[in-house]
């Protein structure tokens, strides 16, 4: 592969709640909403608490993550569907890594002070880990002095993969969200991963310069999800495609970007944790 690319820099914050709280089937939307309210509490210095016309908006982490319509989000939340105990990860990419202290403070405030969901249920945190380091336990944060970003750059580029979706893929074809497996094409997945990687690296509106090659087959199903938007005061649909698929005869660049996509999520609403998947090697 002739294309020279930089490793993806990231931190993954793994949060485990104490037993006793039953999370909703799809927790990603609830978690992002709670993080928004908590982050505003942590960072806002405007006495009016209004973002519109705020003197500090261009330097505000909350505004950048939750109010700036033109920003490409350099974070996402991932959580498995239907879990019995609340566990989730919050990923920070590239420049967003610098926001780690504010992010951790917001997580704690969201869960233990303000509470989760419309009921604002307070959920005690058992532990928070970053990589192999425990940074929160027994109601106390530990030093962040030795926390270093991880770097990811796929080097092994096999032409066969097994891909399993953990959360629904929301992707469009002909300006409509796909609702059946026949509507999902390999080039859509690769293009989405290509765009995610380059935009997180700061390149606006990247144009893919190759045509993805390979074969894709498997079992798809549509999973319908909804979320309630407090801002819009309505239920919003977040359904998408799930299943396991086999990828064969991939070109090396497609293999590279699909591996990178595991770290970033694909399709729409990745900040809620949608489009999350895992690749495993497919034997011939």
Distance of CA 45 to CAs 59, 99, 231, Å? 11, 16, 21
Sort 25 into a burial class: Cβ within 10 Å, 0-12 / 13-18 / 19+: exposed
The predicted structure's pLDDT at residue 232: 60
Give the pLDDT of residue 1: 60
> HSE on the CB side for 46, CA within 13 Å?
16
Averaged pLDDT for residues 68-92: 93
- Residue (of 87, 112, 103) closest to 144 by Cα position: 103
pLDDT tens for 218-236 read 889 999 988 766 666 667 7
Tokens for 11, please give them: 């931190």
pLDDT of residue 283 exceeding 80, the answer is no
Indicate if the pLDDT at residue 58 is higher than 70: yes
Percent of the chain surpassing pLDDT 70: 96
Q: Residue 249 has which token pair?
A: 């005869």
Whether the per-residue pLDDT at 163 is higher than 90: the answer is: yes
9-21 pLDDT tens trace: 999 999 999 999 9
Least confident of 56-60, 80-84, 125-129: 56-60
Model confidence, pTM? 0.93
Tens digit of pLDDT for each residue in 127-157? Answer: 999 999 999 999 999 999 999 999 999 989 9
Question: Average pLDDT of the chain?
Answer: 92
Q: What is the pLDDT of residues 177-203, one digit of tens each?
A: 888 878 899 999 999 999 999 999 998
Q: Under DSSP, is residue 14 helix (H, G, I), strand (E, B) or coil? A: strand
Stretch 69-87: mean pLDDT, rounded?
92
Q: Which domains does the chain have, with CATH numbers?
A: 8-141 (3.30.70), 154-281 (3.30.70.1900)
Token pair listed for 23: 């999370």
pLDDT-based confidence at residue 278 (cuts at 50, 70, 90): very high
Q: Which two tokens stand for residue 37?
A: 């309210």
- The crossing angle, in degrees rounded to 10, of helices 252-264 and 186-200 is 60
Q: Please compute the mean of the pLDDT values over residues 46-52 and round it to a whole number.
A: 88
- C-beta separation of 117 from 130 below 8 A: no
Rounded alpha-carbon distances, angstroms, from residue 144 to 79, 89, 111, 149: 24, 17, 20, 12
pLDDT, residue 233, reads 64
Contact between 140 and 133 (Cβ < 8 Å)? no
Could you tell me which residue, 238 or 280, shows the higher pLDDT? 280
Q: Could you tell me if 92 and 99 are in contact, meaning their C-beta atoms sit under 8 angstroms apart?
A: yes
What are 279's two structure tokens? 């690749």
Token pair recorded at residue 55? 């003197």
pLDDT at 9: 97
Please state the rounded mean pLDDT for residues 37-42: 94
Q: How confident is the model at residue 107 (pLDDT cuts 50, 70, 90)?
A: very high
């Amino acid at each position: 592969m002739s294309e020279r690319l930089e490793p993806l820099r990231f931190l993954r914050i793994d949060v485990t709640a104490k037993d006793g709280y039953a999370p909703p089937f799809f927790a990603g939307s609830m978690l992002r909403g709670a993080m928004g309210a908590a982050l505003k509490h942590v960072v806002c210095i405007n006495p009016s608490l209004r973002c519109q016309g705020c003197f500090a908006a261009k330097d505000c982490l909350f505004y950048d993550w939750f109010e700036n319509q033109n920003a490409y989000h350099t974070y996402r939340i991932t959580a498995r569907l239907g879990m019995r105990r609340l566990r989730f990860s919050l990923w920070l990419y590239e420049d967003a890594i610098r926001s780690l202290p504010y992010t951790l403070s917001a997580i704690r405030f969201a869960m233990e002070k303000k509470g989760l969901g419309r009921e604002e249920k307070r959920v005690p945190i058992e532990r928070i880990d970053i990589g192999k380091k425990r940074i929160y336990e027994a109601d106390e944060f530990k030093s962040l002095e030795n926390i270093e970003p991880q770097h990811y750059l796929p080097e092994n580029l096999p032409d066969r993969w097994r891909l399993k979706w953990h959360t629904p893929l929301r992707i469009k074809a002909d300006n409509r969200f796909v609702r059946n497996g026949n509507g999902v094409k390999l080039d859509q997945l690769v293009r989405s991963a290509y765009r995610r990687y380059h935009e997180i690296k700061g390149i606006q509106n990247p144009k893919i310069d190759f045509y993805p090659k390979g074969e894709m087959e498997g079992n798809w199903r549509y999973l319908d999800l909804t979320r309630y938007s407090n801002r819009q005061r309505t239920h919003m649909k977040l359904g998408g495609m799930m299943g396991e698929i086999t990828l064969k005869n991939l070109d090396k660049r497609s293999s590279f970007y699909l591996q990178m996509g595991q770290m970033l999520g694909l399709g729409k609403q990745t900040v809620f944790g949608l489009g999350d998947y895992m690749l495993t090697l497919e034997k011939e």
